[in-house]
Amino acid sequence: MSSERAIFRGIMVPLITPLDAGCGVDVSGLKRVLGHVIRGGVDSVLLLGSTGENVSLAKEVKKEVVRRGVEVCSGLRGGVPVIVGVMDCSEEDSLEMVEWASECGADAVLCAGPFYYKVRESVLGKSLERLADQSELPMMVYHYPGLTGNKLNEEVVSELFDHPNVIGMKDSSGDMTFLEKVIRVKDEREDVVILVGPDVLLYPALVAGADGGVPGGANILPRVYADLFAAVNRENHDKAKLLHKQLVEMTAQLYGEGEIGINEAVKSLKCALGMMGMCDVRAAMPLELLEWNGRARLRRLLMEQGLVM
């Protein structure tokens, strides 16, 4: 696997975006959260993913997040790889953000392609190909049909993986059957990276052959996710299963019971980081902050983990 692709194996944290009172970037908070996750052992950082509230932020705020985030990560000894989320209905706006990520020194982009309007798999694939054609940075495909309303099938994924500038996929569909099909496609192309989105699917996805994960909970407990990846890498599945069980239980405490939507995930993560003193508890509209009983649940988890007194 080429080095530009291998750097995205392991745990990629989908960083939350700390905001100030005017919905601009809280630069101090951004630095603190980055320091926390990097010390916790994550392998790379995703700026402006779904957890980073990409589609709710103004363009200039997004650009500031990228500039500041890359600045912090590249300033560390050895550097920490940074991938930038690109999520716009307009291909022109997507390309503008791709160019900005390149100017700032990011290592790659994660592109979702068009959303809101429903399109066929082949149309979505062609749009992503056009972005890959014009991107100066390596591109990873972002598959999150639950949010975008548009999905890919394994045939289109296979065609995308043939593109020399496409380095892999982040699959947040939550569909293990689809993920296993994509992994079989990947097995024919050793230089493609497959990452899974949902926290609770990290262990089964790694066992199935995925190269890593992009779990939101790594914003809070990065070391647990890093240890799980390391255990699977060493084929220590007894330890990996224990860590997986821990993560499933902690995820229920972190996000609450029942179906987990991006709204619940973002507000839980931001509230938890606020309790830890990392950043202010602010989310961009239309996301709402956590109600009191949710905050009490989070505080219990953080106290159990020794993250708050």
What number is the average pLDDT over the span 50-65?
A: 96
Question: Which pLDDT tens digit goes with each residue over 105-151?
Answer: 999 999 999 999 999 999 999 999 999 999 999 999 999 999 999 99
Provide the pLDDT for residue 187: 80
Instruction: Name the maximum alpha-carbon separation found in the chain.
Output: 52
What number is the average pLDDT over the span 177-200?
A: 92
Q: Could you give the CA distance from residue 267 to residue 285 in angstroms, rounded to a whole number? A: 11
- Residues 3-236, CATH architecture: Alpha-Beta Barrel (3.20)
* pLDDT over threshold 90, residue 194: yes
**Considering the entire predicted model, what is its pTM?**
0.95
Task: Give me the helices (H) in the chain, please.
Answer: 3-6, 27-39, 59-74, 91-104, 121-134, 145-148, 154-161, 176-187, 202-208, 222-233, 237-255, 262-275, 292-304
* pLDDT over threshold 60, residue 259: no
Domains in the chain: boundaries = 3-236
More confident residue, 3 or 204: 204
Q: Could you give the CA distance from residue 97 to residue 107 in angstroms, rounded to a whole number? A: 13
- With CA atoms as reference, report the closest residue to 10 among 166, 182, 219, 232: 232
Q: Could you give the CA distance from residue 28 to residue 47 in angstroms, rounded to a whole number? A: 16
